[in-house]
Amino acid sequence: MLGDDVREHRHRSVLPFTAAPAEVRLLRQAATAQLGHWGLPQAVEETELVVTELAANVIKHVGEGTSATLVLEWDGERLRVEVHDKSRAVPSLSVVSCGDECGRGLHLLAAVTADWGTILTAAGKSVWCEIALGSEWVCQRMERAAAALRSYRPGGATALEGRLHDAALKESAVELIADLLHWTASRGFDPDDILDQAQLHYEAEPGIAA
C-alpha cells in the first residue's frame, strides 16, 4: 500500500513498518511502488539501497521488532529518505552484519547520496539521506536523445545548420518515436500506454511545469 501522499510544493509519503529482516524486502517494494507512482523510476536503485541501510540500522542498533517509519519526500530536485524510530542512539558508520537483508554498512550511504545525517526528535531520532534529482538528470536525458537522433539519421541532421538542422532533428524525433511505437506494438504492448507512461516521466522531471 502506498503511503499518505501530500501534494503541495512537495510530495510526501509515510510508510510505517516493523524492523525485521523479513520486512526489509517488503519495505523496499513499497518504496519502489511509491517512486513509480511519482514517476521517478530512475531513483529506484539508490532508494532501495538507502532504505535497506536505514532499516538495517534500526534492526541492529534499536532492536528487531521495533516500530519505525519510513518517510519519502520529493521536492523536485532531491528525494529525501528518512527513517524514524524511538531510540536516541546516534548510528555509527560500522559495518552492519545481520544478514543480506540487513544491508552492507551505513558508510555506503555517503557514496551514493548527496547528503545524510541524524536528527534527534522528541520521540527518538530520524536518520535521513538525500538523493540528488537535479538538472543533471535532465541533461543526461538530453544527451542520450541527441546521440540517438544523430545516430538515427547520421546523413541528415548532423550535416545541416540552423533552422534546417532543427527541422531535421524534429523529423528524426518523430520518425524514431513512430518506429518505437511500431516495435512496442509488435511485442504485444499497447502504444498508447507507452506514450502515457513516457508523458508521466517527462512531466515528473525537475523544471517541467505541472
pLDDT digits 0-9 by tens, 133-189: 765 555 555 666 766 766 665 444 444 445 556 677 778 788 888 888 888 888 888
Contacts of 63 by beta carbon, 8 Å cutoff, 6+ apart:
19
* The pLDDT of residue 36 is above 70: yes
Of residues 171 and 3, more confidence is placed in 171
CA pseudo-torsion sign 78, 136, 208, 152 = negative
| 147 vs 124, higher pLDDT | 124
| pLDDT computed for residue 138 by the predictor | 52
Residue 95 has pLDDT above 90, yes or no: no
Mean of the pLDDT values across residues 118-131? 91
Which domains occur in the chain, in start order? Answer: 6-133 (3.30.565.10), 136-204 (no CATH)
pTM for this one?
A: 0.58
Kindly state the cell numbers that stand for 22. Answer: 523479513
Return the minimum-mean-pLDDT range out of 55-59, 103-107, 168-172: 103-107
- Provide the pLDDT for residue 125: 93
Mean pLDDT of 115-134: 87
Percent of the chain with pLDDT over 70: 67
